[in-house]
Amino acid sequence: MLEGSILQQLQTAHRHSTRPIRFGVYYKNTLVSLCHALEDHILADDDKPLVITAFQQGKWYLQEAGRYADIAQRSREIAIMAAPDAGFAEHPTSLLPNVDLVALDPADPVAQEWHLIILSQSYTAMVICQELSAADYGSSGIPTSDLERKFYGLWTFEPQLVQETAEIAIAHISKYNPQLANKLIADKQAMSTTGYAYASSTARLENLGAVVSRVVDYLQTGQYNLSIPTALGQQTLDRNLVSNEIQAFLRMAQLLDIADATNPMAAAEVVVLAETIAQLLDLPAWQIKRLRLAALLHRIDPLQKAESVLSSDKVLTHSQEDAPSCPLIPGAQVLRTMPRLRAVAQIITHQTEWWNGRGEPAGLVGDEIPLESRILALLADFQWRVNQRKSSNQSRQEIFTQALDECRQQQSTRFDPKLVDTLALLVMGLQQGLDLPIMTPKVSSGVWLLDSQWDSHSKTSEEIGSYPK
């Protein structure tokens, strides 16, 4: 990581914090898809964001300059950093009143970085990275194919991290143009007063759902349009894209937890409970992994209102194949655009079913409800009840006992009675001192959540409805 770069300054600021930053490695085609998705959301939105970018070289800016003329019309201010090349400052986009160029010294480490930082009224987003050095590439050397170039960094929607990175970028701009830096500070402060922090949580999450949907669609489209010289290269790039599609959903789920001040660890706690229950039921490893991902994503309610930007026809086809008895739910359909997540979409869709058939969306009864859906429904309710009592003066044993008793009151009506019995065994262990460590997902890589057997184990509701007695 280059000394003095924005990426390095961000890493240093978080090195000893309670939330160290986890960086990942991304291929260029993945980053192009991410950036185009975020840029096109600016074009489709009315928020007039503050945009700060860095291009490795002026020639890369020139390739996107026409596009940025359109983005400028939908933005409050755009600051563009790049090492100056021929024509860099002379392009018509550079002359627009709300577009400012910062000609970086070629020796400046930021001249080797690729950034897109967006501060909007209703969402925040960024992609920040720098290309691997020749030493990082190792014996294989620097790739000859532009698409196979690799970059070290991260992308996120997290408001605090995006705002912090914007401040570092503005401080760097100040070294070249103090007047522009002051203008950007004023814009940022104005948005902090009237923007994201004051937008309704519903508006923020709905907008974020639309951004996530667009990101996933663009990643998939980028995957279909690739022309890679070798089969191995194609497989590697495909895996990188799939990882980032999953990351998009995981990052949204993470933000939902953070936004819920009363229950900020809900997903992580449901995950560890679900894994323990799955082990008590002796479920196979591939099913436990699928349940884990469903538990991480089980709160993505905003996606219920987010339509797929490019894949609506494909979504309907998949939903009819995978769950013909299930009414179409847009949020689940967005998940179904990814073949590896269709089973997870089905699990999340049916977590609101009731054992007695009075639930939604399909009125499934008993073992017709997918097993993972039944597990999620029970454990999400149990976790919520335990969390509600954490601030009370009750003992650990009393909290678990009361939460379990309230779940038992819904046994055979809302919840699977056999699963309630299994939960009782888990509660007994918790009362006797069993410790379940909470592990937050490493969002910088989503591939670890996938299993090669998923394609061959894409089962119907009936097939995954039973479990060892």
- Predicted TM-score of the model (pTM): 0.68
CATH topology of domain 253-449: Hypothetical protein af1432 (1.10.3210)
Through-space distance between the first and last CA atoms of the chain, rounded to whole angstroms: 54
Q: How far apart are CA 385 and CA 404, in angstroms?
A: 9
- Assigned CATH for 6-199: 3.30.870
pLDDT of 82 reads 86
For 358, residues 6+ apart whose C-beta sits below 8 A from its C-beta are: 413
Q: What is the DSSP letter of 238?
A: H
pLDDT of 331 reads 44
Cis peptide before 361 (omega within 30 of 0): yes
Comparing CA positions, the residue from 202, 300, 305 lying closest to residue 251 is: 300
Q: What is the pLDDT along the chain (469 residues), one digit of tens a residue?
A: 888 999 999 999 888 877 778 788 888 877 888 888 889 889 988 889 999 999 877 677 777 888 899 999 999 999 999 888 757 778 888 889 999 999 999 899 998 899 999 998 888 889 999 988 888 877 777 777 776 788 888 888 888 899 999 999 999 999 999 999 999 999 998 887 555 444 455 566 666 667 777 777 777 665 544 444 444 444 555 555 556 667 767 777 777 776 676 888 888 899 999 999 999 999 998 899 889 888 988 887 544 443 433 333 333 333 333 433 444 444 445 565 555 677 888 888 889 999 999 998 889 999 999 999 999 999 999 999 999 888 788 888 899 999 999 999 999 999 999 999 999 999 999 888 787 776 655 544 443 343 434 333 433 333 333 343 3
- DSSP string computed for 70-117: HHHHT-SEEEEEE---TTTTTSGGGGSTTEEEEE--TTSGGGGEEEEE
Across the beta sheet with 99-103, what order do the strands follow? 24-27, 150-156, 124-131, 113-119, 50-54, 77-82, 99-103
Q: Where are the domains of the chain?
A: 6-199, 253-449
Tokens of 385: 């009840």
